[in-house]
């Protein structure tokens, strides 16, 4: 066990690409945790996708041995946090395992919305927040402006903000000293019943589920019988230890210590992030605060392009879930797209990551339906039910009302874009709240907006309207009743479930016109006229027609060259394979994707 | 033409001879042609005759088709050598159709008389249009008057069958202009008319122009043009016996009928395609490569494809369905009608069964039917596969 006075637990809060992983590498190097030979760029980001996108999806932690200039031997536990709003619960659990947080901001880009959101999480959690400006070696760096922004958020003087370059190592020694000085040592009660926080977990093919935990009170010994307070499950501690970052087994973890625990549990959803571990024999009276069930926010149907890949998709989802308890799904049958799964995600990035991993790591070709949110329907008998797919919305006569999730959205932007952003937000039923100037050039815009309005293309539009400068974060603020309708798209009189959407009544006509217009461009001419209609219930609100094709014949037989003509038609036939039969209408696979794509005018 | 007559061409003996020379290459053409190489004509004809004389002796051909390119670009003496070689090696039946493609501007009275004398009895003119702007857009070098003169000379010289090739749907051409071309054609009273929709082929100047944004033919306009021609020619006594071909009774092109009846035809010259003994074969496409191969005593043949059993049945439908008389359904037709694709086509009225024949009732959508035919699976193979599954499940 390590004396609490010698421990400092901290995490780094930073926006994507602001240099968190590089700084982590530098710290590992300075403290000798990783030898030069083992040094791989960005050791902590182990998933390929993370390395490629430069983001951290799964949090990790590492124990660093640090000797201060005064000769003091200390243990620094760096607890990594995922850097995206979708994973804010995971971030909050990681922060709950720390006493301090380093708020790292790119000297060229300044504070971003996510960083700010996570900084507020850290402040709310009572952490000591140490501001630092990174990448001061860059030509485009403006450390003074970034420092001023940080001082504006956290209070204090811009002069107190650390300045460093994780890339060159400049300022890293100062940073280490500041951390030791400013971050409080843990102050758990060593004699109290055990309370340890599970702040992350992952699945190891050989060892089963590995938990990352922080001991708060009491101590945890190898072989102890442990109770997981949220799930009520009891497991034995098969192995406990430190991550240096290699796993080093130890006999006992004392208060304030951070380490791993292996219990032999194989199913990731039996170990919940945020749960409190205590002793089965001498349990703690109350769990640590803040536990929540994982809650999907965004839903989308995933369908294999090739119907034969359904089982392969199921296997792939199951494999992904081994490491991602927040991924949920249920089988879904679409008349248009066949068999697939309606999947629930924590947010848009989570959805994108899952889709990309399915296609890349499991070699699947997928069609994804437009993302939607979970609506709550008040039935005629007053019962409330949740629906996750537009098809499940009852007809107007069979429901008393519908409510939808709202979020508080926070946008940080250069002030010149305030107008376009407000237009975008109010066009999406956003209600603008606070507008606060962090500096004369940077503004924080707060508004309340239905989540359904931002899950689809809001982020892309925001980026394009602000040339990529604005950043967005949001948090759920509950359900509100709205005047929502389901718009169906009918091909040749038959509704195509994949194109149905729940939209606000005022936006229904525009949605109907947009979709029918797009589909008219995307659906090739057939043997008969194909009417494309948008309808609310039985009422048609928009209509287009794909005229029957009139000529499809080779003029000439090329002087007896039968083979060539055969090949030509054979090629055309191959092209047709990428069509989905929707009723009697052939719809190209691309139409499902393209019809739902972002456009500038919307 | 009765269905039985049409089907009987399956037993015809036909031959195709390719003459690749042109004065200039038309912008839409992607046949094996060459312009500005008239220096090669004698060597080429020598190679052609050598290829014919080296071919395995067959029986007298009942249809001989000399196409191109522009066969009328050759000196009649060279054309005579070609006919002579076919006659000596295989024979030319006494009542054979001996056909040649000609450009109107080449067809003077003396040339016409000479061709008739050396044995040609059918001529097919690349008229394409009677509209000057369309002819110019198509890169043709004749005018409407030359077409009329050529037909006149052919008649006077005793050609028994005269055909005109027309092209419709050239971007920019109005339906009125096309109607004018059809009327002028009917007025000339040819025995046979072919109407082809202008097709944009990759790798041609037209294909490149369209790729760079030039207007492409509008399929809807082409459909209307086709229907206009079909009505007008029908009213004038021409029966449509194939997707793109109309003829007065008895003047249907026998060489073409042989091809569409899945019959056999020899093929000589660069890029020529033949069908014999269940094998489809083709010759080297480049003229110099062809000449050199034959001069070295090698075969100019470069590709072969053998169709038997189910593949041959599919092919019978594939070629036969271009004909107005359609085909005897056979196992392929039965499979087509039973397939979902076939059902869709029947419902849309594209295919139909009438008086025991399977037909394409909407020739303008013929390729829809052709693609469905190409996708048909051999029912016997399927049955075998099914029974194999059963075995493996039991085991």
Q: What is the mean pLDDT of residues A279-302?
A: 87
Question: Per-residue pLDDT averaged across A321-340, rounded?
Answer: 83
- Tell me how close the Cα of A554 comes to any Cα of chain B, in angstroms: 7
Q: Whole-number mean pLDDT of chain A?
A: 85
**Cα–Cα distance for residue pair A110/A105, rounded to 1 Å:** 6
pLDDT, tens only, A440-498: 888 899 999 999 988 877 887 887 888 877 888 888 899 999 999 999 999 999 888 88
The answer to whether the Cβ–Cβ distance between B364 and A556 falls below 8 Å is no
Contacts of B224 in chain A (CB under 8 A): 550
Peptide bond into B284 cis (omega under 30): no
Whether B9 contacts chain A with CB within 8 A: no
CB distance B272–A527 less than 8 Å? no
Q: How confident is the model at residue A86 (pLDDT cuts 50, 70, 90)?
A: low
Whether A103 contacts A150, CB under 8 Å? yes
Contact between A553 and B366 using a beta-carbon 8 Å cutoff: yes
In this structure, are residues A311 and A255 in contact, taking their beta carbons and an 8 Å threshold? no
What does pLDDT average to over chain B? 93
For residue B322, the chain A residues in CB contact (below 8 A) are: 557
Q: ipTM score here?
A: 0.84
B226 interface with A at CB cutoff 8 Å = yes
The answer to whether B304 faces chain A, any CB pair under 8 Å, is: no
Put simply, whether B265 touches A (Cβ < 8 Å) is: yes
Disruptive mutation site among B321, B344, B349 for chain A (greatest number of A CBs within 10 Å): B344
How many whole angstroms separate alpha carbon A168 and alpha carbon A172? 9
Residue A445 DSSP label: E
Interface membership of B323 toward A (CB under 8 Å): no
DSSP A286: S
Describe the crossing of helices B109-118 and B144-156 by its angle, rounded to 10 degrees: 40
* Residues B259, B319 contacting (CB under 8 angstroms): yes
Select the residue of B31, B222, B344 nearest A559 (Cβ to Cβ).
B31
Check A560 against B274: CB less than 8 A apart. yes
Q: Which chain A residues are closer than 8 Å to B226 by Cβ?
A: 551
Answer yes or no: do B364 and A566 touch at CB < 8 A: no
Provide, as residue numbers in chain B, all residues whose Cβ is less than 8 Å from the Cβ of A562. Answer: 259, 273, 275, 280, 315, 318-319
- All residues of chain B having their beta carbon less than 8 Å from the beta carbon of residue A569 are 367, 370-371, 374
Q: At residue A280, does pLDDT exceed 80?
A: yes
pLDDT in tens, A188-213: 999 999 999 999 888 887 888 889 99
Residue B84: how many CB atoms within 10 A of its CB?
15
Q: Which two tokens stand for residue A398?
A: 């069979």
Cα angle A582, A587, A588; round to 5: 145
Q: Name the residue of chain B whose CA is nearest to A568's CA.
A: B371
- Per-residue pLDDT at A457: 76
Q: Do B220 and A555 touch (CB under 8 A)?
A: no
Residue A203 phi, psi dihedral angles, 5° rounding: -100, 125
- What's the distance, CA A295 to chain centroid? 12
Of the candidates B273, B282, B348, the beta carbon closest to that of A527 is on B348
Res. A50: pLDDT tops 50: no
Scanning B82-141 for CB atoms below 8 A from A yields none
Confidence of residue A599 (pLDDT cuts 50, 70, 90): low
The answer to whether the CB atoms of A569 and B273 lie below 8 A apart is no
Provide the pLDDT confidence category of residue A310 given band limits of 50, 70 and 90: very high
Residue A557: band (very low, low, confident or very high) from pLDDT cuts 50, 70, 90: low
Mutate to test the interface with A, among B201, B258, B368 (most CBs of A within 10 A): B368
A-chain residues near B165 (CB < 8 A): none
Query: B271-328, pLDDT tens digit by residue?
Result: 999 999 999 999 999 999 999 999 999 999 998 999 889 999 999 999 999 999 999 9
CB A111 within 8 A of CB A150: yes
State the pLDDT confidence band at A40, using cuts at 50, 70 and 90. Answer: low
Residue A245's nearest CA partner among A25, A56, A506 is: A25
B222 and chain A in contact, CB less than 8 A: yes
Every domain of chain B and the residues it spans:
3-260, 309-381
Nearest CA in chain B to A563: B280
**CATH tag, B3-260:** 3.20.20.70
Domains identified in chain A and CATH numbers: 4-182 (3.40.50.300), 195-279 (2.40.30.10), 298-369 (3.30.70.870), 376-482 (3.30.70.240), 485-594 (3.30.70.2570)
Give the B window 48-67 contacts with A, CB below 8 Å: 67
Indicate whether A216 pLDDT > 80.
yes
Q: Report the residue from B223, B259, B303 with minimal CB separation from A550.
A: B223
User: How far apart are the C-alpha atoms of B127 and B146, rounded to whole Å?
Assistant: 9
What per-residue confidence (pLDDT) applies to A597? 61
Structure tokens at B378: 């051999």
Closest CB to A562 among B16, B272, B319: B319
The parts of chain B modelled with pLDDT lower than 50 are 385-395
If you measure CA to CA, which chain B residue comes closest to A583? B344
* Contacts with A576 from chain B: Cβ below 8 Å: 371
Q: Do A562 and B265 touch (CB under 8 A)?
A: no
pLDDT at A9: 96
Pair A453, A424: CB distance under 8 Å: no
Q: Quick check: A553 and B367 CB within 8 A?
A: yes
pLDDT at residue number A31: 81
Q: Residue B31: its chain A contacts at CB < 8 A?
A: 558-559
Chain B residues close to A547, C-beta within 8 Å:
220
Inter-chain residue contact B219 with A551, CB threshold 8 Å: yes
Nearest residue to B172 (alpha-carbon basis) of B203, B144, B206: B206
pLDDT score for B379 = 81
Q: What is the pLDDT of residues A349-388, one digit of tens each?
A: 788 888 888 988 888 888 888 788 999 999 999 899 999 8
Q: Check residue A596 and give its pLDDT.
A: 63
Beta-carbon separation of B367 and A562 below 8 A = no
All residues of chain A having their beta carbon less than 8 Å from the beta carbon of residue B364 are: 550-553
pLDDT at A496: 87
Interchain proximity B199–A554, CB inside 8 Å: yes
Supply the pLDDT for residue B389: 37
Q: Counting one residue from A and one from B, how many pairs have CB atoms under 8 Å apart?
A: 101
Residues A162-181: pLDDT tens digits?
999 988 989 999 999 999 99
Helix (H) or strand (E) holding A360: helix A348-361
**Residue A400, class by beta-carbon neighbours within 10 Å (0-12 exposed, 13-18 middle, 19+ buried)?**
middle
Task: Say yes or no for a CB contact (<8 Å) between B305 and A563.
Answer: yes
Identify which of B67, B318, B368 has the shortest CB distance to residue A552. B368
Given this model, what pLDDT does residue A34 score?
57
Using one digit for the tens of pLDDT, what is the confidence trace for A56-72? 444 478 899 998 888 88
How many angstroms separate the CA atoms of A167 and A164, rounded?
9
Indicate yes or no: CB of B259 within 8 angstroms of CB of A561. no
Contacts of A556 in chain B (CB under 8 A): 196, 199, 244
Percentage with pLDDT > 70 across chain A: 92
Q: Do B374 and A570 touch (CB under 8 A)?
A: yes
Contact A558 B16 (CB under 8 A): no
Report the distance separating Cα B78 and Cα B51, nearest Å. 15
Q: B350 CA to chain A: closest CA distance, Å?
A: 8
């Amino acid at each position: 066990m390590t004396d609490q006075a010698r421990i400092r637990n901290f995490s780094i809060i930073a926006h994507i690409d602001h240099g968190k992983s590089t700084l982590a590498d530098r710290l590992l190097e300075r403290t000798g945790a990783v030898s030069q030979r083992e040094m791989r760029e960005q050791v902590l980001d182990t998933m390929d996708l993370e390395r490629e996108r430069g983001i951290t999806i799964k949090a990790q932690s590492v124990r660093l041995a640090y000797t201060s200039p005064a000769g003091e031997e200390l243990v620094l536990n760096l607890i990594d946090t995922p850097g995206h709003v979708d994973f804010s619960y995971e971030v909050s659990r990681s922060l709950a395992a720390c006493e301090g947080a380093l708020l790292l901001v790119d000297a060229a880009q300044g504070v971003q919305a996510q960083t700010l959101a996570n900084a507020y999480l850290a402040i709310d959690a009572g952490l000591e927040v140490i501001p630092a400006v990174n990448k001061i070696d860059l030509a485009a760096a403006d450390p003074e402006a970034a420092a001023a922004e940080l001082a504006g958020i956290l209070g204090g003087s811009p002069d107190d903000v650390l300045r460093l370059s994780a890339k060159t190592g400049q300022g890293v020694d100062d940073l280490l000293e500041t951390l030791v000085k400013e971050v409080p040592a843990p102050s758990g009660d060593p004699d109290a019943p055990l309370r340890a926080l599970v702040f992350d977990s992952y699945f190891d093919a050989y060892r089963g589920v590995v938990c990352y935990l922080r001991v708060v009170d009491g101590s945890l010994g190898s072989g102890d019988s442990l109770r997981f307070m949220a799930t009520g499950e009891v497991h034995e501690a098969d192995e406990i230890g430190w991550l240096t970052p290699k796993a080093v087994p130890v006999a006992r973890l004392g208060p304030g210590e951070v380490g791993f625990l292996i219990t032999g549990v194989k199913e990731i959803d039996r170990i919940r992030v945020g749960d409190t571990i205590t002793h089965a024999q001498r349990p703690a009276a109350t769990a640590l605060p803040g536990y929540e069930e994982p809650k999907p926010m965004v839903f989308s149907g995933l369908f294999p392009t090739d119907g034969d890949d359904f089982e392969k998709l199921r296997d792939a989802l199951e494999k992904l879930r081994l490491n991602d308890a927040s991924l949920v799904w249920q089988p879904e049958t679409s008349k248009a797209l066949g068999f697939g799964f309606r999947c629930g995600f924590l947010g848009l990035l989570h959805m994108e990551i899952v889709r990309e991993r399915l296609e890349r790591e499991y070699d699947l070709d997928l069609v994804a339906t437009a993302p939607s949110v979970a609506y709550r329907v008040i039935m005629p008998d007053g019962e409330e039910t949740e629906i996750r797919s537009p098809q499940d919305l009852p007809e107007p006569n069979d429901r008393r009302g519908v409510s939808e999730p709202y979020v508080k959205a926070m946008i940080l932007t250069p002030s010149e874009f305030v107008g376009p952003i407000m237009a975008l937000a109010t066009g999406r039923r956003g209600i603008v709240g606070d507008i606060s100037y962090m500096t004369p050039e940077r503004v924080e815009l707060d508004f309340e907006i239905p989540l359904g309005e931002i899950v689809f293309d809001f982020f892309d539009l925001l980026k394009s309207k602000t040339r990529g400068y604005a950043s967005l974060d949001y948090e759920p603020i509950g359900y509100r009743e709205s005047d929502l309708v389901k718009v169906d798209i009918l091909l040749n009189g038959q509704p195509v479930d994949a194109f149905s959407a729940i939209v606000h009544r005022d936006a229904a006509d525009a949605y109907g016109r947009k979709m029918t217009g797009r589909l008219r461009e995307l659906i090739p001419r057939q043997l008969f006229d194909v009417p494309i209609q948008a309808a609310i219930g039985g009422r048609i609100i928009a209509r287009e027609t794909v005229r029957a094709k009139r000529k499809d014949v080779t003029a000439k037989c090329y002087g007896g060259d039968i083979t060539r003509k055969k090949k030509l038609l054979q090629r055309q036939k191959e092209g047709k394979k990428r069509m989905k039969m929707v009723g009697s209408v052939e719809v190209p696979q691309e139409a499902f994707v393209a019809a739902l794509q972002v456009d500038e005018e919307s | 033409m009765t269905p039985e007559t049409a089907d009987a061409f399956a037993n015809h003996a036909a031959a195709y001879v390719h003459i690749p020379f042109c004065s200039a290459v038309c912008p839409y053409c992607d046949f094996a042609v060459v312009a500005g190489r008239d220096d090669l004509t004698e060597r080429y004809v020598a190679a052609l005759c050598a290829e014919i004389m080296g071919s395995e002796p067959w029986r007298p051909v009942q249809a001989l088709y000399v196409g191109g390119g522009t066969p009328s670009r050759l000196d009649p003496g060279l054309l005579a050598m070609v006919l002579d070689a076919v006659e000596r090696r295989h024979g030319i039946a006494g009542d054979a159709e001996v056909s040649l493609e000609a450009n109107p501007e080449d067809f003077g009275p003396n040339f016409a008389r000479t061709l008739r004398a050396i044995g040609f009895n059918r001529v097919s003119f690349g008229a394409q249009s009677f509209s000057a702007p369309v002819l110019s857009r198509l890169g043709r070098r004749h005018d409407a008057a030359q077409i009329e003169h050529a037909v006149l000379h052919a008649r006077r010289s005793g050609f028994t069958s005269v055909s005109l090739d027309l092209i419709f749907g050239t971007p920019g051409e109005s339906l009125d202009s096309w109607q004018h071309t059809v009327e002028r054609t009917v007025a000339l009273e040819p025995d046979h008319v072919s109407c082809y929709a202008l097709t944009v082929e990759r790798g041609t100047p037209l294909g490149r122009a369209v790729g760079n944004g030039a207007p492409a033919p509008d399929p809807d306009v082409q459909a209307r043009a086709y229907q206009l021609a079909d009505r007008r020619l029908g009213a004038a006594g021409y029966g449509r016996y194939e997707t793109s071909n109309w003829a007065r009774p008895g003047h249907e092109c026998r060489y073409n009928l042989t091809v569409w009846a899945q019959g056999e035809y020899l093929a000589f010259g660069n890029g020529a395609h033949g069908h014999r003994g269940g094998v489809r074969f083709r010759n080297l496409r480049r003229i110099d490569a062809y000449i050199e191969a034959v001069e070295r005593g090698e075969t100019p043949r470069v590709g072969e494809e053998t169709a038997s059993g189910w593949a041959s049945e599919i092919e019978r439908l594939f070629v036969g369905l271009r004909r107005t008389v359609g085909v005897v359904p056979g196992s392929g037709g039965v499979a087509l009608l039973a397939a979902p694709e076939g059902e869709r086509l029947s419902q849309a009225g594209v295919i139909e069964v009438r008086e025991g024949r399977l037909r394409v009732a909407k020739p303008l959508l013929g390729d829809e039917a052709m693609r469905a035919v190409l996708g048909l699976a051999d029912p016997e193979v399927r049955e075998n596969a099914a029974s194999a599954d059963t075995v493996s499940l039991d085991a």
